[in-house]
A = this chain, B = another copy of it.
Amino acid sequence: MKKIVLVYSGGLDTSVCIPLVREEYGFDHVITVTVDVGQPEEDIRQAEERARRLGAEHYTIDAKQLFVEYFCWPAVRANGDYEGYPLSTSIARPLIALKAVEKARELGATAFGHGCTGKGNDQFRIEYILRTLMPEAEIIAPMREGRRLPDGRREPWTRSEEIDYANAHGLDIPQTKERIWSVDENLWGRSIEGGRLEEPDYAPPEEIFKWTRGPGNCLPTPQTITIEFEQGVPVALDGQRLDPVSLVTTLNRIAGQHGVGRIDIMEDRMLGLKVRENYECPAAVTLLTAHRALEALVCTQGELKFKAMVDREWGELAYKGLWFDPLKEDLEAFIARVQERVNGVVHLRLFQGTASVIGRNSPNALYSADLASFDSKTFDQSESLGIVKTHGLQSRMYFHLRQSGRLTGQPVPPALLGASVPKPTTQETPS
């Protein structure tokens, strides 16, 4: 009895895979696994029903809490971002694949199927986990391989062909035109892509958004919220401690009502294609904004500068789905050390599409009212003379060289310094 675990969303592509792995790949026992990371309940129900009608052994696994704790929170600590995208879909894929592996082990399956095409990022993220955890397993990607033609060649499935095939196997999907866009949704965000939305210059219509209100439709008055962090992890909203899922869910609702979290970017996919993407991520954007503000209060200037590079690298690894990469672990050790101090509260005003930080407070602030204030007499200002005199010392030595005529080009554009700079008459060194 050849068993296969199919990573299953309940959508058309993965539904087509159920009969396909039976008929073309010779699996007589198809186990469908739908991992709940916060997608609409209706999608979960549809998956259950379609799997049942197509004769699969179906499992729905609630992984919402794991998703927030083990994937969203680390993303917050790393200011998780890739080219402006808070990685919502990216960080859910490893968890989905992990749960598929768990189920395969439990049920003794040694093959996996998924519905990813060969153009996108998800094939990398999902297969990385499968190949890492079960390197010996067989992996089937029917959508990537394409429809088998009578002559043995393969070509990509059309939507119409998929519907015909699915309905021939027991579903009842109307032959409508292809949906104009496709959606992926989890607690950390909602992505809408495809069709004209891919064009860099096409203003997205209001109707693609579901979680965020648009201009003119937001709540009419500003709302100030307070987020508390412990070690870089959000723990409370407006003074009330919330479990991770509730915190994210609540914030998605509140910030969404104020239109916060819309993102419109060009994104470089893993295969090198540039695609225009639209996201709405109210909770993610609000939490990341707050977290960055708190870090700016407790970290040194050097830490902020270097952590920006650490975070960027983390974001790239997370985007690629390399969840167990040793470099990711190394970066997280750096991040964990910094986050030890990222405790405190951030106040934000949500209004009309913006989450604005209006205050921040931490027991670990590297801030001294005394030193910073204008009025202080504690710092002997005249001592800064030596600092000023050495400021840019090498830079000034270089300028002397430029002025000396040994290097090409004007040292200063003439418009900026009407009189030409005279050559130095002495050998004096700048001091």
Closest to A313 in B: B306
Interface segment, A166-174, A235-243, A335-343? A335-343
Mostly, the A contact residues are mixed
A280 in the interface (beta carbon within 8 A): no
Interface segment, A37-45, A49-57, A420-428? A420-428
**Cross-chain contact A301 with B275 (CB below 8 angstroms):** no
Q: How far is the CB of A297 from chain B (nearest CB, A)?
A: 5
Q: How far is the CA of A388 from the CA of B426 in the complex (A)?
A: 31
Closest to A357 in B: B264
Instruction: Chain B residues near A268: list those with CB within 8 A.
Output: 300-301, 304, 394
**Cross-chain contact B135 with A424 (CB below 8 angstroms):** yes
**Cross-chain contact A369 with B266 (CB below 8 angstroms):** no
Q: How far is the CA of A62 from the CA of B327 in the complex (A)?
A: 39
Given A304-B83, A304-B268, A416-B98, A368:B381 Cβ within 8 A: no
**Cross-chain contact B117 with A381 (CB below 8 angstroms):** yes
A272 in the interface (beta carbon within 8 A): yes
Instruction: List A residues 121-155 near B (Cβ within 8 Å).
Output: 123-124, 127-128, 131-133, 135-136, 141, 143-146, 154-155
**Cross-chain contact B366 with A398 (CB below 8 angstroms):** yes
Instruction: Chain B residues near A421: list those with CB within 8 A.
Output: 133
Instruction: Chain B residues near A364: list those with CB within 8 A.
Output: 401, 406-407
Interface segment, A4-12, A23-31, A183-191, A215-223? A215-223
Instruction: List A residues 348-378 near B (Cβ within 8 Å).
Output: 349, 351-354, 356-361, 363-378
Q: How far is the CA of A312 from the CA of B309 in the complex (A)?
A: 10
Mask, A251-264, CB within 8 Å of B = 1, is 00000000000101
Mask, A388-425, CB within 8 Å of B = 1, is 11111111111111100011100111011111011010
Q: How far is the CB of A252 from chain B (nearest CB, A)?
A: 19
Q: How far is the CB of A18 from chain B (nearest CB, A)?
A: 20
**Cross-chain contact B324 with A399 (CB below 8 angstroms):** yes
Cβ-neighbour of A372 out of B203, B273, B299, B411 (below 8 A): B273
**Cross-chain contact A388 with B127 (CB below 8 angstroms):** yes
Instruction: Chain B residues near A352: list those with CB within 8 A.
Output: 215, 218, 351-354
Closest to A340 in B: B407
**Cross-chain contact A415 with B70 (CB below 8 angstroms):** yes
**Cross-chain contact A354 with B353 (CB below 8 angstroms):** yes
Given A144-B385, A324-B411, A326-B398, A354:B354 Cβ within 8 A: yes
Mask, A299-340, CB within 8 Å of B = 1, is 111111111111011001100101011110111111011101
Q: How far is the CA of A327 from the CA of B334 in the complex (A)?
A: 9
Cβ-neighbour of A387 out of B329, B380, B386, B408 (below 8 A): B386
**Cross-chain contact B198 with A392 (CB below 8 angstroms):** no
Instruction: Chain B residues near A274: list those with CB within 8 A.
Output: 297, 365-367, 372, 394
Instruction: Chain B residues near A358: list those with CB within 8 A.
Output: 203-204, 264
A95 in the interface (beta carbon within 8 A): yes
Q: How far is the CA of A70 from the CA of B215 in the complex (A)?
A: 37
Cβ-neighbour of A106 out of B330, B419, B431 (below 8 A): B419
A2 in the interface (beta carbon within 8 A): no
Q: How far is the CA of A409 from the CA of B412 in the complex (A)?
A: 26
Instruction: Name the residue in A146, A155, A330, A416 with the highest tally of chain B Cβ atoms < 10 Å from its Cβ.
Output: A330
**Cross-chain contact A296 with B415 (CB below 8 angstroms):** no
Instruction: Chain B residues near A155: list those with CB within 8 A.
Output: 377
27 A-B residue pairings within 8 Å (CB atoms): A95-B416, A101-B417, A117-B381, A118-B379, A118-B380, A118-B383, A119-B384, A124-B391, A124-B392, A128-B396, A131-B396, A132-B430, A135-B400, A135-B430, A144-B384, A145-B381, A146-B381, A178-B375, A200-B367, A264-B357, A273-B393, A306-B331, A307-B330, A308-B312, A378-B429, A385-B386, A387-B390
